[in-house]
């Protein structure tokens, strides 16, 4: 403690560190002084991150590990695997940039065991990994990373990872975060990251993905990059990361499309959309090819509409459109629709709050989107989707694009569903 105080003196910045047994989300335990002036501690950490950037670009493991505290053998092993996975990724550019956030905001993510081990001179950093995937990204994608750094023998080193349910979206959920080695497979428009042991199965998945992407491009040929990166590793933790607040939904979801921006969404007020990544639930990788193809097409449709999807776009539009694209070439019989809908009452379009609580809302929303495409034309369906960039009410979007109000739209939907049920 006296050594740390000597480093900073009265000019040092204060770091609030939390204690407890749950990964750092309990009451304030203590405040310590660490010199984080721009010309001292901040500069040292920024230089560390710059060395990390160069280590990945030059594929230099020794340079990467030189800034990692290797006293914990298990953590050192994970860092070597992280590096090995990172250098397999086809980055056209990458950088690790320190993001300035209040210390108290980050302190709650400090694992208690790291505080106990390193005492005063330890804290969580907010790092933005800015990168582009070669042949996929036309814009820079920002990913959050929250390493724990500590003063070890007078030098700042990476000693662990932040923990907690409220980590920013995407933290610990990237393909390179897999605890096992990954393989990167690609064709002209799709990059698939799979576990090394799944490389052979991954090639079949890549072929399905190419067909699915072609199906999406026939509906949405412009307005997006037309290329996708998807993750299908066996490390279930990667997929579960996106359901920290709703673990009960994990088993119900085959894959998820994750939008990313030019800044980390949780750390910025107005980030601009960059790209959508697709992450597979590893429990679904043994599904039948037809089911996998449907899931891929659905998620790729989300990627295609990512640039025009906003917080105002209703869930029934977002999910129903993706199902419309996935089912477009299928002949679905009336008895299949009846079985899928069961006794679901078709009255008003589902609200966002209730959408995911009823799986059959996917079917009902698919029929709503298909009805719009059949009655008004596919171009009008897309225009209706895009209208929510400027309006928040279905009433306004329906009147401006379809020429009818929401009451008439819902009545047409009810009539259409009744007809499809037979």
d(C-alpha 385, C-alpha 319), whole Å: 11
d(C-alpha 110, C-alpha 163), whole Å: 7
Average pLDDT over residues 276-286: 92
d(C-alpha 140, C-alpha 61), whole Å: 25
Domains of the chain, with CATH numbers? 2-167 (3.10.450.100), 170-309 (3.30.2010.30), 310-422 (no CATH)
User: What is residue 29's predicted lDDT score, i.e. its pLDDT?
Assistant: 35
What Cα–Cα distance (Å) separates residue 8 from each residue in 4, 5, 125, 269? 7, 5, 18, 32
Average pLDDT over residues 127-142: 97
Q: Does residue 327 surpass a pLDDT of 90?
A: yes
331 contact partners, CB below 8 Å, separation of at least 6: none
Q: Which of 19-33, 60-74, 259-273, 281-295 has the lowest mean pLDDT?
A: 19-33
Q: Does residue 184 surpass a pLDDT of 70?
A: yes
Q: Does residue 15 surpass a pLDDT of 50?
A: no
User: What is residue 6's predicted lDDT score, i.e. its pLDDT?
Assistant: 28
Average pLDDT over residues 236-264: 84
Q: Does residue 383 surpass a pLDDT of 70?
A: yes
User: What is residue 217's predicted lDDT score, i.e. its pLDDT?
Assistant: 97
Q: Which of 22-31, 48-57, 79-88, 362-371 has the lowest mean pLDDT?
A: 22-31
For 127: left if phi > 0, alpha if psi spans -120 to 50, otherwise beta; the answer is beta
User: What is residue 249's predicted lDDT score, i.e. its pLDDT?
Assistant: 66
Largest CA distance in the chain: 81
DSSP 41: I
Nearest partner of 324 among 253, 374, 259, judged by Cα: 374
pLDDT tier for residue 159 given thresholds of 50, 70 and 90:
very high
Q: Does residue 393 surpass a pLDDT of 60?
A: yes
Average pLDDT over residues 40-50: 91
Nearest partner of 264 among 356, 170, 327, judged by Cα: 170
Q: Does residue 19 surpass a pLDDT of 50?
A: no
Q: Does residue 121 surpass a pLDDT of 70?
A: yes
User: What is residue 22's predicted lDDT score, i.e. its pLDDT?
Assistant: 39
Q: Which residue do the tokens 């070597």 mark?
A: 80
User: What is residue 247's predicted lDDT score, i.e. its pLDDT?
Assistant: 62
DSSP 350: P
d(C-alpha 205, C-alpha 24), whole Å: 40
Average pLDDT over residues 267-288: 93
Q: Does residue 351 surpass a pLDDT of 50?
A: yes
- Determine the length of the chain: 422
User: What is residue 273's predicted lDDT score, i.e. its pLDDT?
Assistant: 97
pLDDT tier for residue 312 given thresholds of 50, 70 and 90:
very high
Q: Does residue 231 surpass a pLDDT of 60?
A: yes
Nearest partner of 235 among 286, 294, 184, 176, judged by Cα: 176
Dump pLDDT digits (tens) for 55-98.
Answer: 999 999 999 999 999 999 999 999 999 999 999 999 999 999 99
Q: Does residue 25 surpass a pLDDT of 70?
A: no
Residue 108: count of CB within 10 angstroms of its CB: 20
The mean predicted confidence, pLDDT, of the chain is 89
Is there a contact between 278 and 258 (Cβ–Cβ < 8 Å)?
A: yes
The DSSP annotation for 249-316 comes to GGGG-SEEEEEEESS-GGG-SSPPEEEEEEEE-GGGTTS-HHHHHHHHHHHHHHHHHGGG--TTS-HH
Q: Does residue 21 surpass a pLDDT of 80?
A: no
Q: Does residue 43 surpass a pLDDT of 50?
A: yes
Cα angle value 362/365/368 (rounded, 5°): 155
Is there a contact between 37 and 13 (Cβ–Cβ < 8 Å)?
A: yes
DSSP 402: T
Average pLDDT over residues 310-320: 97
Dump pLDDT digits (tens) for 101-112.
Answer: 998 899 999 999
Is there a contact between 159 and 121 (Cβ–Cβ < 8 Å)?
A: no
Q: Does residue 2 surpass a pLDDT of 80?
A: no
Cα angle value 230/232/236 (rounded, 5°): 130
0.95 cut: is pTM over it? no
pLDDT tier for residue 16 given thresholds of 50, 70 and 90:
very low
């Amino acid at each position: 403690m006296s050594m740390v105080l000597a480093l900073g003196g009265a000019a040092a910045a204060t770091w609030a560190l939390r204690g407890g047994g749950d990964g750092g989300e309990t009451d304030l335990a203590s405040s310590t002084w660490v010199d984080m002036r721009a010309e001292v501690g901040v500069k040292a950490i920024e230089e560390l991150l710059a060395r990390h950037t160069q280590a990945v670009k030059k594929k230099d493991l020794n340079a990467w590990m030189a800034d990692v505290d290797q006293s914990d053998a298990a953590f050192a092993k994970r860092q070597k695997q992280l590096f090995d996975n990172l250098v397999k990724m086809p980055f056209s550019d990458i950088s690790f940039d320190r993001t300035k956030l209040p210390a108290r905001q980050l302190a709650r993510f400090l694992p208690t065991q790291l505080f106990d081990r390193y005492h005063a001179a330890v804290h969580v950093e907010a790092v933005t990994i800015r990168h582009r995937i070669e042949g996929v990204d036309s814009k820079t994608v920002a990913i959050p990373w929250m390493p724990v750094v500590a003063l070890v023998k007078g030098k700042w080193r990476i000693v662990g990872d932040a923990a907690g349910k409220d980590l920013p979206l995407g933290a610990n959920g990237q393909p390179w975060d897999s605890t096992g080695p990954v393989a990167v497979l690609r064709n002209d428009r799709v990059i698939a990251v799979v576990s090394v042991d799944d490389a052979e199965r991954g090639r079949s998945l890549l072929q399905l993905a190419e067909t699915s992407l072609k199906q999406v491009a026939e509906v949405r040929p412009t307005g997006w990059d037309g290329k996708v990166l998807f993750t299908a590793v066996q490390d279930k933790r990667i997929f579960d990361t996106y359901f920290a607040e709703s673990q009960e939904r994990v088993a119900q979801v085959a894959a998820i499309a994750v939008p990313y921006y030019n800044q980390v969404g949780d750390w910025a007020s107005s980030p601009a959309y960059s790209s959508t990544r697709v992450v597979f639930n590893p429990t679904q990788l043994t599904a039948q090819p037809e089911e996998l193809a449907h899931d891929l097409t659905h998620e790729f449709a989300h990627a295609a509409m990512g640039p025009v999807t906003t917080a105002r776009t209703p869930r029934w539009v977002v999910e129903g459109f993706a199902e419309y694209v996935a089912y477009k070439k299928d002949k679905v019989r009336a008895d299949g629709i009846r079985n899928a809908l069961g006794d679901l009452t078709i009255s008003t379009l589902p609200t966002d709050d209730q959408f995911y609580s009823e799986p059959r809302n996917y079917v009902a929303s698919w029929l709503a989107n298909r009805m719009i495409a059949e009655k008004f034309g596919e171009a009008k369906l897309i225009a209706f989707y895009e209208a929510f960039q400027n309006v928040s009410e279905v009433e306004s979007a329906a009147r401006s694009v379809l020429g009818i109000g929401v009451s008439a739209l819902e009545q047409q939907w009810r009539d259409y569903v009744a007809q499809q049920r037979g």
